[in-house]
Chain A
Amino acid sequence: MEGGRPEIMYRVSRILLAIAVVAVAAALPLFDTPFITATMITVLMSGILAVSWNIFSGYTGYISLGHSVFFGAGAYTTAVFVTRLGLPPVAAIIVGGIAAMILALVSGYPCLRVRGIYFAIVTLALNETLKLSILDWESTSMGTIGMTLPPIYAPIETYYALLALLVSVMILSERVRNSRFGLHLLAIRDNEMAAETIGINTTGCKLKVFVLSAFFPGLTGGIMARYYTYIEPKQVFDLTISFQMAIMALFGGIGTVFGPLIGATFLGVVSDVLWARFPYLHLIIQGIIMILIVLFLPKGMMDIVTRLTRRGGPDRSDTTAGPEER
């Protein structure tokens, strides 16, 4: 490839860095206050969601604005299985993840027939339909809205579960990105017609990655359902969750492996700090920061990282071709 230090050194140092970060994150709850643990839980949750969203929308270019439907589906399935069917929480959470995948399979086939803005709105419509249907069903046949899970307070458990999920989804994201399958997805993003012409099964690929990207939000929904102990449609199917996923991934660098995580962490931490310092103005400041960064760093925050670690070769920061340059 280029001259300079051998590839292997970068690989190893990257992996060591990742392990170090995970180790610090794992040790965090032991030292810090419940407040920090709670904040970190939110950050971890956003991270998992943003990275999962990116696996689909970042690599295929199909912007999904309804991904929160998988989070909600996982949450509700878990709640139902724990309260009605008496399943132990861990099993129920896994069932939640599987339910989200089934939902993705069933809805993916019709939804993926459209593209671009049409696709974005149709996924949004999917989310709203499910949300409103559950809400209506609950208020008419049950009388009460929402479901209550057995009251337990387990922030530490939740924290580690989410951390494990985050590490898993990051590995998944990296493996997909730097694989043949990932190249197929990027080809779809760049020119779907050309990809089909060279024999890529675009429908199959899109469906596969759509289902894959639904699993972790489903699991996360289940975990958060147990953590919150009370869920209702407006909360777990909230479009804001969908938008946040997209925003964090776009902000950090869509289509990259670490981008969405950086975006989620940065935005999560910044919004918390701003909220504490400027209780009335924090959202306005956040909006301004977001606009400024987008206008001056269009490729997302990942751009800074790539530029700092570039090995003096030509600017290959365009994420459209080949296995990711580190």
Chain B
Amino acid sequence: MVTVDVLTQVVLGGLVLGGIYALTAMGLNLLFGIMRILNVAHGEFLMLGAYATFWFFKLFSINPLSSLPIVFGLLFACGVIVHKVLVSRMIRISRTIHALQGSSLLVFFGVIMIVQNLALLAWSPDLKGVTYLQVPIVIFGASVYLSRLLALGLALAIALVVHLFLVLTRTGTAIRAIIQNRDAAMLMGINIGRLSMFASGLGIALGGVSGSLVSLVYPLSPFMGMGFTIKAMTVIVLGGLGSMTGAFLGGLALALVESLGSIFIAPGLKDAIGYVLLIVILLVRPRGLFGRGPA
């Protein structure tokens, strides 16, 4: 009934989407891990990255592969600006962690409204697409665009680079230390302020880069962000808050479950299956698959 080529198609599709989920979630996780605030506007930066890739391709004929570092840089700057202008102020004025989380929810929601509607005004609600390397490749009988495979490959590569950065470099290790235990990190002499700014830049840049990958695979719209934000939030909870490995594996897992569920259970319930998976996992492991710290 389910043949190899259909299965391959579905699994590959799941992996491609999973790579994107994973990267987006890793970025969001970085932001949450460092500052304990949930950036509900994360998807909007993904959208900006996607549109940046589109415009570099359309106006300057720079292919999405080459524009990746530029997009990274631009969104890194965005992250730093957001940190300096909004986040550091919020941290200063909040007396309790509850207050900080409440304020950050509101502020980032405001950011969503502003960014989404500026994008709408500037680029119109018409769907746009990046047609690059849309050459079909045949694997196990299934026909897949090269652009999708490229997106998958890039996602895995970037995730690997981020992982190596966090594990092998001093800055990366310092960031991991802050995520693990902020107070202990301060006692060790780690400059929380500067590194928080850096981590914000990195997290948002990852979001933007995910957007570049999305542009290779899906059409763009100013409203595309929210869906990815919700998926990313689902993934980091599934994988465990603060765990980058969890975010990565969780992203792949969620997408695979969704894709397989769509052919084995029902196409309409694709997303619902993902949410049920989340609820079940949280019942069994209230901190997510790899989470540590307070539930």
- Contact in complex: A63, B279 (CB < 8 Å): no
Residues of B within 8 A of A115 (CB): 294-295
Within the complex, the shortest CB–CB distance from B76 to chain A, in Å, comes to 22
B93 & A132 in contact (Cβ 8 Å cutoff): no
Most chain A CB within a 10 A radius of its CB, from B96, B279, B287: B279
User: Taking the complex as formed, is A34 at the interface, i.e. its CB lies under 8 A from any CB of chain B?
Assistant: no
A290 cross-chain contacts in B, Cβ below 8 A: 106-107, 109-110, 113
| Contact present for B113 and A133 (CB under 8 Å) | no
**Interchain CA distance A132-B241 in the complex, whole Å:** 26
Within A240-256, which residues are at the interface with B (CB < 8 Å)?
243, 246-247, 250-251, 254
- Return the chain B residue nearest A138 by Cβ: B268
A283 proximal to B (CB < 8 A): yes
Q: Does B114 contact A118, Cβ atoms closer than 8 Å? A: no
A110 to B284, CA, bound (A): 10
Interface residue ranges of A292-326 to B (CB < 8 Å): 294-295, 298-299, 318, 320
Size bracket, chain B contacts:
35 or more
Name the interface size band of chain A. 35 or more
Q: In whole angstroms, what is the CA distance A295 to B111 when docked? A: 13
B156 at the interface (CB under 8 A from A): no
In the complex, per-residue mask of A120-161: 1 if CB is within 8 Å of any chain B CB, else 0: 111011101100110110011000000000000000000000
Q: B187 at interface (Cβ–Cβ under 8 A)?
A: no
Residues of chain A contacted by B276 (CB below 8 angstroms): 125, 129
Q: Does B272 sit at the interface, judged by CB under 8 A?
A: yes
- Compute the total of residue contacts between A and B using a CB distance below 8 Å: 137
Q: Which of B96, B109, B121, B230 contacts A280 (CB 8 A)?
A: B121
Task: Pick the residue among B96, B103, B118, B241 that contacts A117 (CB under 8 A).
Answer: B241
B241 / chain A contacts, CB cutoff of 8 Å: 117-118
Contact A116 B294 (CB under 8 A): yes
Q: Could you say which residues of chain A place their CB within 8 Å of the CB of B95? A: 318
Is A189 located at the chain interface by the 8 A CB criterion? yes
Decide if B268 touches A135 in the complex (CB within 8 Å): yes
Complex: how many Å from CA A220 to CA B118?
Answer: 34
CA distance A132 to B282 in the complex (A): 20
Task: Identify B268's interface contact among A125, A132, A320, CB under 8 A.
Answer: A132
CB neighbours (8 Å) of B38 from chain A are: 117, 120
**Closest A-B pairs by Cβ, 7 of them:** A287-B113, A136-B268, A132-B272, A290-B110, A287-B114, A125-B275, A291-B110
15 further interface pairs, Cβ-Cβ under 8 Å (given A136-B268, A283-B113, A283-B114): A63-B102, A114-B286, A115-B295, A117-B32, A118-B237, A118-B286, A120-B38, A124-B230, A129-B272, A132-B272, A133-B269, A239-B230, A281-B117, A291-B114, A298-B99
